[in-house]
Amino acid sequence: MTENAASVERVFNWTVTNLGKVAPPTCNDYGSWTVAHWRKGCTERKLRLARATSKQDQIRHLRSYDATKRAVQGSIDSENLLDPSMRNTKHCFIGLSNVLFSDQFAGRLAHSDDTLTRDQIEVGAVNAKTVLWKEVGVEHRTNQMDYNNLFEAAASDPRFSGINPSCIVQHDDGRLFGM
C-alpha cells in the first residue's frame, strides 16, 4: 500500500448509484464538490431544487438531508436498545421448548386447547395468566435441567450454532405465552 493510497479518505456523503459522466468526489466536504457533484447528489436524494439554486443553498440542503438521515437512523438504532426481557433472543425459544415439552408440561399443553368449562370462563382462566403459563414462566426462569436431551441435540446440530440454551433471559409469563 502506498503512502498516497493510505491518506485517501472514504467518501461517505456520495450516495449516487448511477454515475453517468460524473466522477465521484474525492472528499466528504461539500464545499469542495463541483456543480455536477451537487446536482447529482441532490437528484439522488430526491431534493427537487431549481437549477438556479445557489451553491450555499445546495450545500445547506445536502447537509440538512444528511443530518435528518442521521437523526432518523439514530432513533431507529436506539429502538434496538430495549430491555432484554422485552426482546426475544436466539436462546429463548430453545429454553421455552425444553420446558414445554418436558414430562411435567407436555400433557397439560396438549389439553390446553380443549373446550373450556363454564367455571374456567367465569374465573378468567383462559389467557396468559392461567396456572399453566404461570408455572411455565417460573420453570423457564429457574430451570437448568435438560429435559429430553434438547440442549444436547441443539449443540450438535449446525443449524443451532451459537445458541446457548442455558442462557436464560427473564421474560414475564405473557411474553412466554406470545412466543
Q: Dump pLDDT digits (tens) for 51-75.
A: 888 888 888 988 898 888 888 887 7
Instruction: Count CB-CB contacts under 10 A for residue 154.
Output: 20
- Chain segment 87-113, per-residue pLDDT in tens: 556 667 777 777 777 777 778 777 766
Confidence of residue 135 (pLDDT cuts 50, 70, 90): confident
Task: Measure the CA–CA gap between 82 and 41, rounded to whole angstroms.
Answer: 35
For the entire predicted model, the pTM comes to 0.40
Q: What is the pLDDT averaged over residues 124-138?
A: 70
- Chain segment 11-43, per-residue pLDDT in tens: 656 666 666 777 777 777 888 888 888 788 888
